[in-house]
Amino acid sequence: MGETVIGYVKRVNGPVVTVGGISDAAMMELVYIGSYHLIGEIVKLDGETAVVQVYEDTTGVTPGESVYGSSMPLSVELGPGIIGTIYDGIQRPLTRLRELSGDHIAKGVFSPPLERTRRWAFTPLKAVGDTISVGDVFATVPETSHIVHRLLVPAEIPLTGETYTVERIAEAGEYTVDEEVCTLRDTSGALHALTMISRWAIRKPRSVKERKTLTVPLITGQRVIDMLFPLAKGGTVAIPGGFGTGKTMTQHAIARHCDADIIVYIGCGERGNEMTDVLREFPRLIDPHSGKSLMERTILIANTSNMPVSAREASIYTGITLAEYYRDQGYHVALMADSTSRWAEALRELSGRLEEMPAEEGFPAYLPTRIAEFYERAGRVTTRGGEEGSVSIIGAVSPPGGDFSEPVTQHTKRFVRCFWGLDRSLASARHYPAISWLDSYSEYVDGLSQWWREKGEGIWFEQRQQMMDLLHREVRLEQIVKLVGPDALPDSQNFILEVCSLFKNAFLQQNAFDENDRYCSIEKQLGMLHVILTYWELGSAAISRGLPLVRVKKMKVVQEIARMRFSISDDNIDELDRLNIRLERQIHRLGEMYET
């Protein structure tokens, strides 16, 4: 805790505290307020007066109480023990806080983010006399059963020069996070002791060597995403939707099944019962990739709507900083922010208390800048240590009344390259994921097509385009059907409606409670899409030769296609080829019968 008094409390306005008599303070400095040592951050300086944004409940703080400085910005602790922990918005471990203060977090209660008594198995990768640079890995620690924590030379210690010499490094063994495990000598001869702990200011992006083009998809196992609106590793996506349309459910499915190495889930301003479900459910879920608990690759940040509003604003930055830290170790990280609308509302409330000029719908004028700064921290990079890592941001947006024209949704669309718009009518019809194939888009399709070609699946781009064309043709035909009825359309056009209906029910829908359907491998997705398009091509050709549509629809194989997402598992992909053969034979046999 800070001990240097830098001022005194003049005025308390909710989470915003005005401090007078300021001496020796800096913008964005971490400070402690009053006898409880409430955590805060200086957001405005004016002569001897400062405005502090407090991240705890300020009830009971009175004018005249002392304010203590820390000479450092609001930062997170980085080191072994982060994965599997549940933090609040300013990286306080909630499990240990409960042990200290019970079911309600008491004012001023504090526990270190990283446990100080636990011992970790330390394995050095460098020897005395080796040269090393910032961002290089000098040792490893097994953090979970399948995540190896790579200890990096931190950038925040005052090193001089480009390379440094290892003066001392601990032998392999077990150490706590605050024990000295390495000593570096810089070019001036000064020595710097390293522990397993480093710190980083949450509002400052971590530096990288190079940003790479986004050409590798993040495989989610959700067909509507992977096949129609794919997300690249290192990409950004917004999931807007009204209440009850399935934003949280979609993020949970992605968190469980995507091929990212590490998941960071931020519950930003969500209702307490929803976050309770998340905190209870995630530890029980089994990671399908490893067979272990999902928490062994997950970091949870819980900041419910009844917690201090300023901590909600900080939680987004805490989460993205932790994600960048593991990215710098060479991991691919997927960050779920649920939801950025609650974060924007926190900005609006704090802006109002700071008496700033409001802009559209009361949001501060700098809302677009803050949204851009957050999403720009995503990316696929070459780290300073030469590894490849990525941070993919999946941000939920909760527009009031499902109005996509409101400021947060509109500004978010400017800074993301993928958009999964949720449709209330689909959710009401129990069609999940309720991602609208008409409102959604992905700008990563062209960049990912090369990856598909290299994997030997070059047909993906063409088949996706063919299916999207059919879906758009269906929209125009449905408008005609509403006016004159389906009987006015020829069989060739009614068949388009039939194929699109089959595609939506047999492909786009997924059942999270079905063992075969909750996750769909890329091979199965491609096989299913190929079967449906084969049905379209062969059926439309048969209809053009005079075969009645009703005969095509009543084929036994059509019912098999409708059930294939449940009946065919990822381990039995060959069954899709056999289904395709049965489809070809039945249409051919039907055509021969009709001709005779």
Q: What CATH number corresponds to the domain at position 164?
A: 2.40.50.100
Q: What CATH number corresponds to the domain at position 58?
A: 2.40.30.20
Query: What does the pLDDT look like over 406-435, one tens digit per residue?
Result: 999 999 999 999 999 999 999 999 999 999
Average pLDDT over residues 279-301: 82
* Per-residue pLDDT, 1: 47
End of a domain among 173, 196, 219?
196
* Per-residue pLDDT, 170: 95
pLDDT of 595 > 80? The answer is: no
Same domain (yes/no): 192, 340: no
Higher pLDDT, 255 or 287: 255
Ranking 204-218, 263-277, 460-474 by mean pLDDT, the lowest is 263-277
Ranking 68-72, 265-269, 472-476, 484-488 by mean pLDDT, the lowest is 484-488
Average pLDDT over residues 509-528: 93
Same domain (yes/no): 244, 127: no
pLDDT of 584 > 90? The answer is: yes
End of a domain among 396, 413, 443?
443
Same domain (yes/no): 407, 523: no
Query: What does the pLDDT look like over 64-114, one tens digit per residue?
Result: 999 999 989 999 999 999 999 999 999 999 889 888 888 778 888 889 999
Average pLDDT over residues 362-379: 96
Domain annotation covers residue 184: yes
Domain annotation covers residue 202: no
Contact predicate 460/230, CB 8 Å: no
Query: What does the pLDDT look like over 104-157, one tens digit per residue?
Result: 788 888 899 999 999 999 999 999 999 999 899 999 999 998 899 999 999 876
Ranking 341-345, 437-441, 487-491 by mean pLDDT, the lowest is 487-491
Domain annotation covers residue 329: yes
**How many percent of the chain have pLDDT more than 90?**
74
Contact predicate 248/394, CB 8 Å: no
pLDDT of 567 > 60? The answer is: yes
* Per-residue pLDDT, 309: 85
Same domain (yes/no): 405, 469: no
Same domain (yes/no): 192, 214: no
The phi, psi pair for 494, rounded to 5°, reads: -65, -30
Cα Dmax for the chain: 100
pLDDT of 351 > 90? The answer is: yes
CA–CA distances in Å: residue 15 to residues 57, 97, 370, 521: 7, 21, 20, 48
Burial 344-364 (b: 16+ CB within 10 A, else e): bbbbbbbbbbeeeeeeeeebb
Query: What does the pLDDT look like over 371-392, one tens digit per residue?
Result: 999 999 999 999 998 999 999 9
Q: Hey, which residues does 108 pair with through a beta bridge?
A: none
Helix (H) or strand (E) holding 173: strand 173-175
* Distance separating alpha carbons of residues 548 and 238, to the nearest angstrom: 44
Domain annotation covers residue 88: no
Same domain (yes/no): 162, 225: no
pLDDT of 492 > 70? The answer is: yes
Domain annotation covers residue 107: no
pLDDT of 2 > 60? The answer is: no
Average pLDDT over residues 276-305: 82
End of a domain among 172, 196, 220?
196
Contact predicate 54/310, CB 8 Å: yes
Split into its structural domains, the chain has a count of 4
pTM beyond cutoff 0.85: yes
Mean of all residue pLDDT scores within the chain: 91
Same domain (yes/no): 150, 258: no
Domain annotation covers residue 552: yes
pLDDT of 158 > 80? The answer is: no
* Distance separating alpha carbons of residues 5 and 12, to the nearest angstrom: 18
Structural domain harbouring 424: 210-443
Same domain (yes/no): 392, 258: yes
Same domain (yes/no): 286, 429: yes
Average pLDDT over residues 210-234: 96
Domain annotation covers residue 96: no
* Per-residue pLDDT, 163: 84
Same domain (yes/no): 425, 521: no
Same domain (yes/no): 468, 435: no
- Which residues have a Cβ under 8 Å from the Cβ of 167 and sit 6 or more positions away? 128, 183, 184, 185, 191
Average pLDDT over residues 212-226: 96
Same domain (yes/no): 392, 475: no
pLDDT of 312 > 70? The answer is: yes
Domain annotation covers residue 86: no
* Per-residue pLDDT, 562: 95
Q: What CATH number corresponds to the domain at position 321?
A: 3.40.50.300
